[in-house]
Structure 1
Amino acid sequence: MSKRKYLVYDVFTDRAFAGNPLAIVLDSVGLDDHAMQEIAQEFNLSETVFVLAPPGGARTPIRIFTPAHELPFAGHPTAGTAIALADLGASAEVGDDGAVLLVLEEKIGPIRCLVTREAHGAFAEFGLARLPAQAPFEISREGAAAALGLDPQDVGFENHVVSAWSAGVPYVCVPVRNLDAAARARLDTRLWTEMVGTRGDAATPAAYVYCRETEQHLSTFHARMFAGHLGTREDPATGSAAAALAGAIVHFDQPVDGTTECWIEQGLEMGRPSNIRLELDVGNGALSAARIGGYAVKVAEGVILR
């Protein structure tokens, strides 16, 4: 029986006991799929990362599991693992300002991550391996409202309507008119699964609720993510959903060419406030690149016997 060290980081926050907790199992070589899934179930967090090489290299293969299944990509595991590995001395190079560049090899492909040390702590930024594209899922305004326990008039704002996007993981993005509607949202998992369904090998996407009204004055959007059918009733911070939202932002808001910065607040209804930075590079009216960023702090460490 092996003793494998693990770390727990709170991600997309600069303080402990906020944001989205992430378990990181170090040196997971030798664990098969079944063992990884069992360990993820044991932690019972929204995601657990398995590092498939000893910490310290410039390129590090990882795998990401929810309590129910494996993901090809996820945002808070990417940001949290990048900061954890930088804390352990991993890097491809170190800049004069102490910034650390490293590459995480995920199922979606290699993801370049930059970790910097700022006044509020360690901050990780990574570029999307895949730009958001419209996903083949459809749900009406009335259907989304029914599944979320809302009135149809609660769904939609300005020219934003329900749409589905994926930057590696699909989401149905549901715009709601204000914070009150967002706070009242409660997903009926059975009804949602029946209405949205599956397409090919793709599982039923999660519901990502967002609005323009925010609680924090520096935020651009307020968001909630529901995925009870995937083992996560509600997620306090979802980088892959923010990546998907980038598609909706460019489609509906049509930002001017150049770089647009958005801050997305999430997790406030759960008592786990989180902040995700989304940067969009737009050229000729189309998205050419996007980056996700956020802070993370270590809150626990130990060993797991496996």
Structure 2
Amino acid sequence: MPEYRYYTCDVFTRERFGGNPLAVVPDARGLDTGAMQALAREFNYSETTFVLPSAGDCTHSVRIFTPSVEVPFAGHPNVGTAFMLAELGAVEWDADAALVRFEEKAGTVPVRLERDQRGGVFCELTAPESLSLGPEVPIEEVASAVGLDAGDVVTTVHPPRVASVGLPFVVAEIASRAALARAAPDIRAMQALRARGVTPDVHLYTREAGEFDLHTRMFAPLDGVPEDPATGSANSALIGLLGQVDPAPSGQWRWRIAQGVDMGRPSELFGSVEKAAGEVSAVRVGGYSVPVFTGTFSW
């Protein structure tokens, strides 16, 4: 029975046991879809990645699984996988910079790596798809799905709506940091969203003056993720939406984003958007990671 090695890291943090944990199998050859899903369920992290040779001209092929489903794209798995490959010496550096290109179901995901003076490795992905905006979602339905009152949902900049740069989320602005902290997923209300064809994965955010530009929380219990400590794909969809609704026809925007604080795993994400001729042209999100565990399993 073949033996496989796995590694875990905490993503979007410089501190162990903060950020979003990720399990990486750097050589998953010989594992089929059923095995990958079973292993992701056993790790029980928000996501687990399985690295394979690319069928095309990418650096690697990467498959991403939550405990219950394979997803076409996700943020912290790309950042963490690039980081772990760098830790394992599987990345070609040009001085203190490197670029990997991951082949995924949503498309090609470039990840830029950069060593800093503190010995950390910053990894920044570019979203694989252009921003797409789905249906608006009634305020009452969103509020019900996250255990808040309709008055806690802000619509000044945009109504709650589906947004995606590779993975769709309902994105909604919340009135205050205190209201954001009160949010909790309601399974029945999320099932009702899914029953009428709306993604039940909900990403909330609020703006407050301070160290961070945005505070966010993401709930996806129907995908096996009751709450995610740091969600690169959801924050990418969020900042893409914010860039799109900004009245400026072109420009660049940057955000420092906090997530995971209310579940005891504080995370730090850095996002940026480029816009030209009235359309968002690039969405990027990045951060730091730290190694945690390593081990083996047989299959």
Give the TM interval when normalised to the shorter protein: over 0.9
| Aligned 1:155-174 pairs, distance under 5 A | 155-156=153-154, 158-174=156-172
Verify the 8 A CA contact 1:139 1:195 in the aligned structure 2.
no
Q: Give the deviation of 1:279 after TM superposition.
A: 0.8
Cα distance in 2 for partners of 1:50, 1:219 equals 32
**Structure 1 length normalisation: TM-score?**
0.91
1:94 aligns to 2:87 (yes or no): no
Name the residue aligned to 1:78: 78
Post-superposition Cα deviations, 1:34-81, rounded to whole Å, max 9, x if no partner, equal: 110000011000100001149xx9711110000001011100000000
Name the residue aligned to 2:231: 238
Q: Assess, with a 3 A threshold, how the Cα gap between structure 1 residues 86 and 254 changes in structure 2: closer, same or farther.
A: farther
Instruction: Say which is worse superposed, 67-76 or 160-169, in terms of deviation.
Output: 160-169
Name the residue aligned to 1:207: 202
Match of 1:292 among 281, 285, 290: 285
Name the residue aligned to 2:252: 259
Q: Give the deviation of 1:119 after TM superposition.
A: 3.8
Q: Give the deviation of 1:247 after TM superposition.
A: 3.1
Residue type matched to 2:244 in 1? Answer: H
Q: Assess, with a 3 A threshold, how the Cα gap between structure 1 residues 71 and 58 changes in structure 2: closer, same or farther.
A: closer
Q: Give the deviation of 1:157 after TM superposition.
A: 5.2
Cα distance in 2 for partners of 1:252, 1:150 equals 25
- Please tell me the root mean square deviation across aligned C-alpha atoms, in Å: 1.9
Q: Give the deviation of 1:257 after TM superposition.
A: 2.5
Q: Give the deviation of 1:13 after TM superposition.
A: 0.6
Verify the 8 A CA contact 2:152 2:174 in the aligned structure 1.
yes
Name the residue aligned to 1:68: 68
Name the residue aligned to 1:126: 125
Identity %: 42
Verify the 8 A CA contact 2:58 2:103 in the aligned structure 1.
no
| Aligned 1:1-306 pairs, distance under 5 A | 1-53=1-53, 59-91=59-91, 93-96=92-95, 98-120=96-118, 121-136=120-135, 138-156=136-154, 158-197=156-195, 199=197, 204-213=199-208, 217-255=210-248, 257-306=250-299
SS in 1 for 2:83: helix
Instruction: Say which is worse superposed, 248-257 or 167-176, in terms of deviation.
Output: 248-257
Verify the 8 A CA contact 2:193 2:200 in the aligned structure 1.
no
Cα distance in 2 for partners of 1:155, 1:287 equals 25
Q: Give the deviation of 1:196 after TM superposition.
A: 4.5
Q: Assess, with a 3 A threshold, how the Cα gap between structure 1 residues 210 and 255 changes in structure 2: closer, same or farther.
A: farther
Cα distance in 1 for partners of 2:220, 2:266 equals 18
Cα distance in 1 for partners of 2:256, 2:129 equals 20
Q: Give the deviation of 1:301 after TM superposition.
A: 0.5
Post-superposition Cα deviations, 1:265-298, rounded to whole Å, max 9, x if no partner, equal: 1000011011111111111232111211110110
SS in 1 for 2:154: coil
Structure 1: any 5+ residue segments left out of the alignment?
none
Residue type matched to 1:73 in 2? Answer: F
Verify the 8 A CA contact 1:193 1:204 in the aligned structure 2.
no
Verify the 8 A CA contact 1:132 1:246 in the aligned structure 2.
no
Matched positions, count: 296
Q: Give the deviation of 1:192 after TM superposition.
A: 1.8
Q: Give the deviation of 1:218 after TM superposition.
A: 3.2
Post-superposition Cα deviations, 1:167-218, rounded to whole Å, max 9, x if no partner, equal: 111100011011011011111011122135354xxx734010111126xx33
SS in 1 for 2:24: strand
Verify the 8 A CA contact 1:20 1:235 in the aligned structure 2.
yes
Verify the 8 A CA contact 1:13 1:297 in the aligned structure 2.
yes
Verify the 8 A CA contact 2:249 2:279 in the aligned structure 1.
no
Q: Assess, with a 3 A threshold, how the Cα gap between structure 1 residues 197 and 244 changes in structure 2: closer, same or farther.
A: farther
Verify the 8 A CA contact 1:197 1:204 in the aligned structure 2.
no
**Structure 2 length normalisation: TM-score?**
0.93
Structure 2: any 5+ residue segments left out of the alignment?
none
